[in-house]
């Protein structure tokens, strides 16, 4: 039963339309399914990382985050703003070659798509709050290694299903939207949304 709850939690967390979901859709749209999917895998792996940490040492981490909540929130929001600005600068330079799936420059960036999304998900305050709130309801002193692993994998599976759907949605849009200018505008809006999430996070501190 706990594993089913964990799976549903993974799905619910990934469904939430936050900066990570927007990023995955945007990359699927601009660079194709491969890039969107790699970004989705990065997000799902971050969810897996948090699940393992939360179910293993959840109470310790929660106490630390509570004591340093203001500093961590500022840091996490700052990262989102900086990344959004970086995306915005890149979107202003976007050209037709960005849609070419055989572009070697894009192929070389595969690892970057995964790692950048992983890091952004790890520092996303929404992810942190959700995970440790959820783990606090389920973690028991009797939890063994197998229970931690099974629940963490359940969260990963729930997350990767939704991340795949987001990447597919973005790539599907890309098939219909071929005009580079239109893609550029959508890319700019995606960047602004991510910056907005960061600013909202700072205002809530």
pLDDT tens digits for range 92-149: 775 544 444 444 344 446 778 899 899 888 887 677 767 766 665 565 555 577 877 8
Spatial CA neighbour of 190 closest among 8, 12, 28, 2:
28
Binned at pLDDT 50, 70 and 90, residue 34 comes out as very high
| Cβ(61)–Cβ(53) below 8 Å | yes
Q: What is the reported pLDDT for 97?
A: 45
pLDDT for the residue numbered 142: 53
Q: Tell whether pTM > 0.75.
A: no
**What phi and psi, each to the nearest 5 degrees, are found at residue 51?**
-60, -45
- Over 80: is that where the pLDDT of 64 sits? no
Mean pLDDT of the chain: 77
Q: What's the confidence (pLDDT) of residue 102?
A: 41
Looking at per-residue confidence, does 59 or 53 come out higher?
53
Higher pLDDT, 108 or 204: 204
Measured between alpha carbons, how far is residue 149 from residues 15, 27, 28 in Å? 22, 30, 30
25 Cβ neighbours under 8 A, 6+ residues apart: 36, 166, 167, 169, 170, 173, 190
pLDDT tens figures, 138-151 = 655 555 778 778 88
């Amino acid at each position: 039963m706990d594993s089913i709850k964990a799976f549903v939690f993974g799905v619910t967390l990934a469904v939430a339309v936050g900066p990570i979901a927007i990023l995955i859709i945007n990359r699927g749209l601009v660079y194709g399914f491969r890039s969107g999917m790699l970004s989705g895998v990065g997000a799902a792996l971050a969810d897996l990382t948090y699940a393992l940490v939360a179910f293993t040492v959840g109470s310790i981490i929660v106490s630390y985050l509570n004591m340093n909540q203001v500093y961590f929130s500022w840091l996490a929001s700052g990262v989102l703003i900086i990344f959004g600005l970086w995306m915005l600068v890149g979107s202003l330079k976007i050209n037709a070659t960005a849609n070419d799936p055989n572009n070697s420059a894009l192929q070389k960036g595969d690892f970057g798509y995964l790692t950048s999304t992983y890091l952004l998900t790890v520092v996303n305050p929404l992810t942190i709050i959700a995970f440790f709130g959820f783990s606090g309801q389920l973690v028991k002193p009797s939890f063994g290694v197998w229970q931690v692993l099974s629940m963490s994998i359940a969260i990963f599976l729930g997350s990767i299903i939704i991340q795949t759907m987001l990447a597919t949605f973005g790539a599907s849009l890309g098939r219909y939207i071929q005009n580079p200018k239109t893609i550029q505008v959508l890319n700019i809006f995606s960047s602004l949304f991510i910056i907005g999430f960061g600013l909202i996070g700072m205002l809530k501190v």
